[in-house]
Amino acid sequence: MDSREPIASQPGHLAEKLFPILNICQKMSSERDLSALLDLIAKEATNLMEADRASLFLLDREKNELSSRVALGSEGILRFEARFGIAGAVLATGETINVEDAHQDPRFYREIDLRTGYRTRSLLAVPLRDYQGEIIGAFEVLNKKTGVFSHEDEEILKALAAQAAVAIETAQMMEEMSRHRDQLQEQIGHLWKEVEGRFSTEHIIGTSQKIQAVLKVIDQISNSSVNVLITGESGTGKELAAKAIHYKSPRARGPFVALNCAALPEALVESELFGIERGVATGVERRTGKFEAAHGGTLFLDEVGDLSLGAQAKLLRVLQERIIEHVGGRKSIPVDVRVLSATNKDLETEIKQRAFREDLYYRLKVIHIQMPALREIREDIPLLTNYFLASYCREAGREPLDLTHEAMSALMRYSWPGNVRELENEMKRLVLSVAGRMITPADLPEGVRRLGVTTASISSSRRPLKEAVAELEKRLMLEALEQSRNNQQQAAAALGLSRQGFIKKMKRYGIKAPL
Ligand SMILES: Nc1ncnc2c1ncn2[C@@H]1O[C@H](COP(=O)(O)OP(=O)(O)O)[C@@H](O)[C@H]1O
Ligand SMILES: [Mg+2]
């Protein structure tokens, strides 16, 4: 029988091949690794087609090159321009090519046989098409064991090519996706390192005993998830400490969610903390609360002393039961959240005045960290000053600034009611405003400068005692005002004066009360 007759007239042969073809398809569809898949297709096609070899050429569109690793087995990848050879011709025409003796065919690319040391005789090639019908490569079987490739062989190879193309595309996509995933994971790893570095305890500056004690506690609790209450005046680094605690903890790669309780109107506290269902009131959209957002991580409740008693009761319940309910919802949602809280209020006083719940206080204050006011750690002022100057100079792209001895003394003597934040802002301002390389007392704000002058400088100026005493008295009064944040009653008390006496002296020395 003529082997080139259409398949329809040879039902027996095709039926014979049907089972092995289905078998191959099944194997192909479960292989996800591209190179293993290409090996599998080549091996199975070689057997099925009773050929000596099979090669798959994949088109690299960017370079317009064909590449094949199968023809060379383990010897490496064969690459050539996509216009060459029978594979190139299949690519250009999209048609099946069946030749009895390749070396007699002008399209044959002899270079391949030369490079591989293989001798090609009969050759059957079909295009590989993706699901949109675009050609993605060519599929060749070489050297039919007996005779040449038949018309039936052409149909079988086409059917096999259609299945192979789908499997190859899937495997290529999987490879690309896993490459992307690896790249993303690597980038995320770098970003995490940067984030953790940025919030590490290394950025809490200070060699004073009080700062070192804070760092020690943060270090000691770094493996646990206990609740921590951080107290201290505004600007002492409470939030800085909270972030350091989070990024050193086992929850570092979970979220850090901050909520400023003081900034919230009473009516919103609950929905901010616990979330709200859609339609609770007209126009209300569903929102997740901070507790849910912090799941697996840390919730930082800033100014926790400002929570209303109602909100305190609800917060306490969540801490006890570890479940939340949306406002207007009925579902209980379990949450795993560590709570760090901060306040500049004295909560024990608040408790006595029944403004803060004692039971909540003990839940929040498993560990207590007290951030020192800057005037309590004056020895850290030079270190902090230089740290901020260096970092803001770097940011502004200017040469590092230095301070004269007098200017540094003034900074160390000033009371810093705004604490480290005030010092930081002052350095930021100086970096932008000082033209030269040196900061002198004249560059400092009035308040910092006048308190920064020593009694030594008063007595050394050789003048009548009365005048020097007056000068000293004036400075002590200014300092007392500074420290009491201009509360005249407190300033007077600090100096052992009556309020009236203090005000009289203010008039005498021309000290104006701030507006
Ligand atoms: N010990 C410190 N070392 C370095 N920077 C600090 C230190 N304490 C505070 N700061 C900086 O001062 C500013 C105010 O700190 P923050 O944590 O917001 O204070 P608080 O929450 O107590 O008001 C921040 O820019 C912070 O980085
Ligand atoms: Mg703060």
Q: What are phi and psi of 231, to 5 degrees?
A: -115, 160
Check whether domain 377-437 has CATH 1.10.8.100, yes or no: no
Q: Which residues contact 237 (CB under 8 A, 6 or more apart)?
A: 204, 371, 419, 420
**Which ligand is the nearest neighbour of the Cα of 241?**
1
Higher pLDDT, residue 482 or 100: 100
Q: What H or E segment, with its residue span, contains residue 300? A: strand 298-302
* Closest approach atom of ligand 1 to CA 240: 17
* Closest approach atom of ligand 1 to CA 387: 4
Q: Which CATH class is domain 454-515?
A: mainly alpha
Q: Average pLDDT in the 276-283 region?
A: 84
Per CATH, the homologous superfamily of domain 201-372 is P-loop containing nucleotide triphosphate hydrolases (3.40.50.300)
d(CA 302, ligand 2 centre) in Å: 7
Specify the domain boundaries for CATH 3.40.50.300 within the chain.
201-372
**What pTM was estimated for this model as a whole?**
0.67
Per CATH, the homologous superfamily of domain 7-176 is GAF domain (3.30.450.40)
End-to-end Cα spacing for the chain: 113
341 lines ligand 1 (CB under 6 A): no
Cα 427 from Cα 387, distance rounded (Å): 10
Specify the domain boundaries for CATH 3.30.450.40 within the chain.
7-176
- Residue among 471, 507, 472, 469 nearest 488 (CA): 507
**Which ligand is the nearest neighbour of the Cα of 210?**
1
Confidence of residue 376 (pLDDT cuts 50, 70, 90): very high
Confidence of residue 451 (pLDDT cuts 50, 70, 90): low
Alpha helices for 199-208 (secondary structure H): none
234 lines ligand 1 (CB under 6 A): yes
Lowest mean per-residue pLDDT among 55-64, 356-365, 376-385: 55-64
Locus of tokens 């999209």: 94
Specify the domain boundaries for CATH 1.10.8.60 within the chain.
377-437
Locus of tokens 């050789």: 462
pLDDT in tens, 56-98: 999 998 999 998 865 444 456 788 888 889 999 999 999 999 9
- Cβ atoms of 180 and 207 within 8 Å: the answer is no
β-sheet bridge partners, residue 301: 259, 341
380 lines ligand 1 (CB under 6 A): no
Q: What are phi and psi of 367, to 5 degrees?
A: -120, 140
372 lines ligand 1 (CB under 6 A): no
Q: Which residues contact 206 (CB under 8 A, 6 or more apart)?
A: 212, 377, 380, 383, 384
**Could you give the C-alpha distances from 482 to 38, 136, 418, 450, 500, in angstroms and in order?**
80, 79, 11, 11, 18
171 lines ligand 1 (CB under 6 A): no
